[in-house]
Amino acid sequence: MIIAVTGAFGFIGSNIIKALNEYGYTDIIAVDNLTNGAKSKNLRDCDILDYIDKEDFIQAIANGDYDNQIDYISHQGACSATTEQNGRYMLKNNYEYSNVLLEYAQRLEVPFVYASSAATYGDKNEFIEERQYENPLNIYGYSKFLFDPVVRRYFKNGLASPVVGLRYFNVYGQNEWHKERMASVAYHHFNQYQQTGTVKLFEGCQGYASGEQVRDFISVHDVVKLNMFFLLNHLNDTEEVSGIFNCGTGIARSFNDLALATVNACRADEGKSILTLNEMIKQGILEYIPFPSDLANRYQCYTQANLTNLREAGFKEEFLSLEAGVSQYVSHLLKSSKV
């Protein structure tokens, strides 16, 4: 069993490879662009079969070099920068790349799971995996949105092998350190608090009070659990499921809640008392900053995954609460900072 994982050295890809190893799978082809060589540390405790550069992989697929060699594809590779404005780069990296792999997977009858995004919904207030609920606000969201209709045409015309798209909501967790500005808010809050004793949130916008914008925050542990659910379905010859599914907890929480969870997890490690939101504001631990002008009209103030289709597909496990997930993540970050 040979499994190809794209974006292998990145945030979610590296966590998926770690999980594959835990299930006993080590024949993994790690595909990525390692221009940022520091990302290699995300796989230093993992076992793989081989590494290939992303561009070389695309060419090898075109040449037929991997025909009848790959048994499963986990396509996590993408540019996830929501502030990126180079549409040509974004579409080539996210849309065209995905098309190449999907065509290969269908031609060779290889199960294919790919990373989509809640950014496809844009400013909609319902998050259901159907066209009428999709209205991306930026080129990143559009690059993800554009691929889903391609997949839906395969669904309509008949699949040669299973295809699953997972629309990731706001993912946080270990191995995201290299994402810089695009790392999760939990990661930024942790570092702000460690460095300055304060955390910063956006002031109110679009009718939401300061810090009261809400998102569906999901731990990378749950994201991996969901990826493994579909992988094991395919490998165990159980009912083969295809579709586009939301990957979130189904519960929207405010950025204030996230800040509270992060700071209190840090304070617990310090042996300090837990604070309320008002106490944090009063003590100057939580500050509100002006809303960035470059995000105007391109920012989702509300997301919440509808899990109906996912539950009907057979995934019944519960997700970590925001407090539990952030507490786990803070423990990991504190441990890593002491190594």
Q: How many CB atoms lie within 10 A of CB 315?
A: 17
Question: What is the DSSP track for 19-62?
Answer: HHHHTT---EEEEE--SSGGGGGGGTT---SEEEEHHHHHHHHH
Question: What average pLDDT does the structure give for the chain?
Answer: 93
Q: How many CB atoms lie within 10 A of CB 303?
A: 22
Separation of alpha carbons 111 and 239, rounded Å:
13
Percent residues over pLDDT 90 in the chain:
81
Cβ–Cβ under 8 Å, residues 242 and 162:
yes
What digits encode the pLDDT tens for the residues 38-57?
999 999 999 999 999 999 99
pLDDT of residue 301: 86
Can 140 be counted among the known catalytic residues? yes
Inter-residue contact 299 to 207 (CB < 8 Å): no
Which residue of the set 140, 172, 187, 299 is catalytic? 140
Q: Using an 8 Å Cβ cutoff, are 48 and 30 in contact?
A: yes
Give pLDDT tens digits along the chain (339 positions): 899 999 999 999 999 999 999 999 999 999 999 898 999 999 999 999 999 999 999 999 999 999 999 999 999 998 776 666 778 888 988 899 999 999 999 999 999 999 999 999 998 899 999 999 999 988 888 999 999 999 999 999 999 999 999 999 999 999 999 998 889 999 999 999 999 999 999 988 878 899 999 999 999 999 999 999 999 887 776 667 999 999 999 999 999 999 999 999 999 999 999 999 999 999 999 999 998 877 766 788 899 999 999 999 999 999 999 999 999 999 999 998 765
Handedness of CA 259, 261, 267, 272 (dihedral sign): positive
Q: So what's the pLDDT on residue 205?
A: 81
Full set of structural domains in the chain with CATH: 3-172+217-250+304-320 (3.40.50.720), 177-213+253-295 (3.90.25)
Residue 291 confidence (pLDDT): 86
**For residues 169-208, b (16+ Cβ closer than 10 Å) or e, as one string?**
bbbbbbbbbbeeebbbbbbbbbbbbeeeeebebbeebeeb
Active-site residue, selected from the candidate residues 179, 200, 288, 302: 179
pLDDT value of residue 70:
96
pTM of the model: 0.94
Which pLDDT tens digit goes with each residue over 249-273?
A: 999 999 999 999 999 999 999 999 9
Residue 84: Cβ within 10 Å count? 17
**Residues 6 or more apart in contact with residue 209 via CB below 8 angstroms:** none
- Cβ-based neighbour number of residue 236 at 10 Å: 8
